[in-house]
Amino acid sequence: STGRLVIIGGGFGGASAARFARINYPDVDVTLVEPYPTFVTCPYGNLILGGKRTLPQITHSYDGLRARGVNVVQDRAADIDPDARTVALESGASLQYDKLIVSPGIGLRWGAIDGYDQAATEVFPHAWMGGDGSQITNLRAQLEALPEGGVVGLAIPENPFRCPPGPYERISMIAHYLKQTNPTAKILAFDSKEGFSKQGLFEDVWAELYGDMIEWIPANQDGRIVAVDVQNKLFISEFGEEHRVDVGNVIPPQTSAAIVRDTGLANDTGWVPVNSRTFEADAARDIHVIGDATIAGPMPKSGYIANSTSKTAVSAALADLTGGSAPSDPVYFNTCYSHGGEDYGISVVAVFRATDDGFEATPDSGGLSPRGPLSELAENRRLEARYADAWYDSITRDMFS
């Protein structure tokens, strides 16, 4: 072989990188390290809450990657030695690499919300990482058990966080489900921000489809939740207001996954600075970091971006080993679709380029779904929902098939 590529994390960035490397660099050995036996996507998890998908429909096997010759190792990377070029695994084994790609996603900032620790996630699930699927299943089960006319609370973090439109799609999907089963229920969305992604489009959805079921409470109306009391099911605001909820979804403040913080790849922001053309980490040679763990603004922390950038990172990393050339002027793409209700999709699109010191949105590219009365836009919304479904099918094929 021409060399050894090791990839940490079998999610949007890592699985995409493994597949792309096997197809385009068949002489390179590819090893993928991932602790879970299957991958549960966060995208379309909100549709489980809406009753439009089931867990098996968003759970993906690594067998397709194995069939392509990827060595899938079910283990957790515990340490990286950039001088010896080794990855130590939790099991005690060690892997030697020539190039390393790291796409481990986010970590949750335990304690950033007082009282919100690992144990509290059983009562107030975050459902913000796929894991073994139990978080999203827990939240769905609690919605099914919501008393008639009960209150669902969401606590939404400040920027930056994984999937900027995600909380608002979630609000919509919860409302979609409750409108059918529990129409007097209330959704209180406590936000640590004063504005959010696709805000106008989401506000149209909520007004058109859900009447007064949803109340969004921004930071300047005391929307920032700073503490929770799981015993008494309370959300406690910045100014000390206590809100009792029957079901609570706490989306806590985030940082990068532990493996990049513990190994000094992240800086004091908690995220990993990288070269915008190669994704090589500023802190280490031959280690390329992609996905949500990186500092890549104005690109969003999305699965689409993790997939799009994985190809540049692989090409740049393996050009060195195979004698090819790295992409000189890479372009990165993003579309974030959201489901508002039945046959109701909206999206935001952007194209990004690398600059010498980061990334920039390309002027006059991309945009948002049109706004206007649903009576005029029903067909557009219906089509965007189908495009979203097609996107999900194609990106998961580009990761796992």
Where in 210-239 is the site for ligand FAD (CB under 6 A)? none
To which H or E segment does residue 335 belong? Answer: strand 331-341
**Residue 286 contacts by C-beta under 8 Å, 6 or more apart in sequence?**
82, 85, 97, 98, 99, 100, 280, 317
Does residue 46 interact with ligand FAD by CB under 6 A?
A: yes
Nearer CB in complex with ligand FAD: 123/258: 258
Residue count of the chain, please give it: 401
Cβ atoms within 10 A of the Cβ of 210, count? 20
Please give the full DSSP string across 138-194, using - where no structure is assigned: HHHHHHHTPPTT-EEEEEEPPSS-S-TTHHHHHHHHHHHHHHHH-TT-EEEEEESSS
Q: Would you say 147 or 331 has its CB closer to ligand FAD? A: 331
Tell me the closest approach of the beta carbon of residue 219 to ligand FAD, in angstroms. 21
**Antiparallel, parallel or unpaired: β 344-355 and 331-341:** antiparallel
**Which position among 116, 210, 304, 332 is part of the footprint of ligand FAD (CB under 6 A)?**
304
Among 133, 164, 253, 291, binds ligand FAD (CB under 6 A): 291
> Is 332 a residue that touches ligand FAD (CB under 6 A)?
no
In the bound complex, what is the minimum distance in angstroms from residue 68's beta carbon to ligand FAD?
Answer: 18
Instruction: Assess contact for 40 and 132: CB atoms under 8 A.
Output: yes
Among 206, 271, 337, 352, binds ligand FAD (CB under 6 A): 337
C-alpha–C-alpha distance, residues 259 and 240, integer Å? 35
Minimum CB separation of residue 65 from ligand FAD in Å reads 13
Q: Mask 16-35, x = binds ligand FAD (CB under 6 A)?
A: -----------------xxx
The H or E element that residue 334 is part of is strand 331-341
CB closer to ligand FAD, 46 vs 396: 46
CB of 240 to ligand FAD, least distance (A): 29
Per CB under 6 A, 271 contacts ligand FAD: no
Strands lying side by side in the sheet with 214-217 = 214-217, 186-191, 151-156, 247-250
Residues 137-166 within binding reach of ligand FAD (CB under 6 A): 162-163, 166
User: Which pair of structure tokens corresponds to residue 13?
Assistant: 């960035």
Is the Cβ–Cβ distance between 245 and 187 less than 8 Å? Answer: no
Q: In the bound complex, what is the minimum distance in angstroms from residue 306's beta carbon to ligand FAD? A: 4
- The site for ligand FAD (CB under 6 A) is made up of 8-14, 33-36, 39, 42-43, 45-46, 76-77, 103-105, 128, 162-163, 166, 170, 257, 259, 291-293, 301-304, 306, 336-337
